[in-house]
Amino acid sequence: MSASAPAPRPNTAVLTRKGADRVRAGHPWIYRSDVTDLEADRGAVVEVRDGRGAPLGRALSSTESQITLRMLTRDATPVDRAFWRARLAAAIAVRERLALDATALRLVHGEADLLPSLIVDRYDDVLVVQTLSQGTDAHRELIVELLVELLQPRGVLLRNDPKVRTLEGLPQEVALAYGEVPAQVEVREGPVRYLVDPWHGQKTGLFLDQGENHAVAAGYARGRALDAFSYQGGFALRMAPHVDHVLALDASADAVAAIAANAARQGLGNVEAREANVFDALREFERGEERFDTIVLDPPAFAKHKGAVPKAISGYKDINLRALRLLKPGGHLITCTCSAHVDEGMFGGIIYSAATDAQIPVVVVEKRMQGRDHPVLLGVPETYYLKCFVLRRAG
């Protein structure tokens, strides 16, 4: 900037033409390269304008992240206490209307609830919150206060340990924000009860995004079932009443212990939990005689960034190819990817190439995604991360 240029106004951001077009196309993330002027404190709410000075709305700002702005409004609505309260209340009301058959669910799903970089999960009477950018982190006390006002929880935990916080220059930390959060909370998903550890469990305790798919899988499950990448038995425990036997595999010893404990607590005697690397286990099964009527594949995200996509594709193909070979004719494969960088078309292609390599006719019965409490914001492909296909081995 030349010495004669007017000093930028505090808490204002000016965008390039490309940045302004992106806002108008509905994407909430504006990258540093699309911001020409920014004068703001860490995490402050800024007024966003195009190069001609026309207002585009208000955004959360970041001094560190490549995602410099996260749009909150597209008009002059002030971002004050009433604004945050209304957005949180709207997200909660959406979940109430969904009437999910569960006491554990996501109440706020960031961008898709127009609250970018904010996650709020409910585990019975406990809330687990993640403020994943400087913007939401700077407002965390207000957010917790409003959640307490709206929901009267027993406790609120800030589960701010995801690595993505380091991109914002924020520490990875877990802290009690309100009331009491026990080491174990009992929740129910459909007929299945789980003991969840909100302090240490993966994600915020459970993979809530698969809740509705657990119920769908149970509808197809029969005979001998395999739940690969089971975590605490989300699919296995739900399928158990419908099958003769279900084998749940996970690489985490803690997860396997939790599956066994959860199965025992509700008298599900046909659940076998085994600590194993799924890649190795599938290979061993192929060499042996055991075949399955129902298989679930729900691996962790193999592609955490774009560069990892080619390797991820070969990983997904490997497990899907082997699973198809292990499936009895007429059996179902429920297969998932939670890599945002592997889109639905790519995932379909991977499955097709696995089926042709295996020379097995495969029918697509359902195409599903993350549960409805984790909605997708149209125009923001990053929010459509979980793809879940139900396939039948036709012959």
Is 236 in contact with 266 (CB distance < 8 Å)? no
Near ligand SAH in 197-216, by CB under 6 A: 202, 207, 210
Question: Does 231 help bind ligand SAH (rule: CB under 6 A)?
Answer: yes
Determine, following the binding rule CB under 6 A, whether residue 335 of this chain makes contact with ligand SAH: no
Q: Quick check: 140 and 168 in contact, CB under 8 A?
A: no
Sign of CA dihedral 236, 237, 238, 244: positive
Annotated catalytic residue, options 56, 338, 351, 355: 338
| Residue 280, beta-bridge partner list | none
Whichever of 137 and 227 has its CB closer to ligand SAH, that residue is: 227
Q: Which two tokens stand for residue 155?
A: 């406790």
Which among 370, 375, 378, 377 has a CA at the least distance from the CA of 336? 370
**Cα–Cα distance, 382 to 371 (Å, whole number):** 15
Strands of the sheet with 118-123, listed across from one edge:
104-109, 118-123, 126-131, 155-160, 173-179
**Per rule CB under 6 A, is residue 234 in the interface with ligand SAH?**
yes
Nearest to ligand SAH of 237, 354 (CB atom): 237
| Using rule CB under 6 A, residue 337 touches ligand SAH | no
**Position 235 contacts ligand SAH (CB under 6 A):** yes
- Restricting to residues 278-307, name those near ligand SAH by CB under 6 A: 278-279, 298-300
Cα–Cα distance between 198 and 88 in angstroms, integer?
Answer: 21
Which one of residues 61, 230, 294, 335 is an interface residue with ligand SAH (CB under 6 A)? 230
- Segment contacting ligand SAH by CB under 6 A, of 58-66, 106-114, 249-257, 375-383: 249-257
- Nearest Cα to Cα of residue 237 among 229, 224, 246, 249: 246
Residue 96 beta carbon to ligand SAH: minimum distance, rounded to whole angstroms: 24
Q: Which stretch binds ligand SAH (CB under 6 A): 70-78, 129-137, 166-174, 277-285?
A: 277-285
Q: Pick the closer one to ligand SAH by CB: 29 or 229.
A: 229
Q: Is residue 124 helix, strand or coil?
A: coil
Give me the least distance between CB of 161 and ligand SAH, in Å please.
Answer: 16
Identify whether 388 is a catalytic site residue: no
Rounded-to-integer distance, Cα 114 and Cα 93, Å: 14
Q: Cβ 173 to ligand SAH, closest distance in Å?
A: 22
What is the strand order of the sheet 292-297 is part of?
271-275, 245-250, 224-228, 292-297, 327-337, 387-393, 362-369
Q: Which residues are catalytic?
A: 338
- Return residues touching ligand SAH (CB under 6 A): 202, 207, 210, 229-231, 234-235, 249-252, 255, 277-279, 298-300
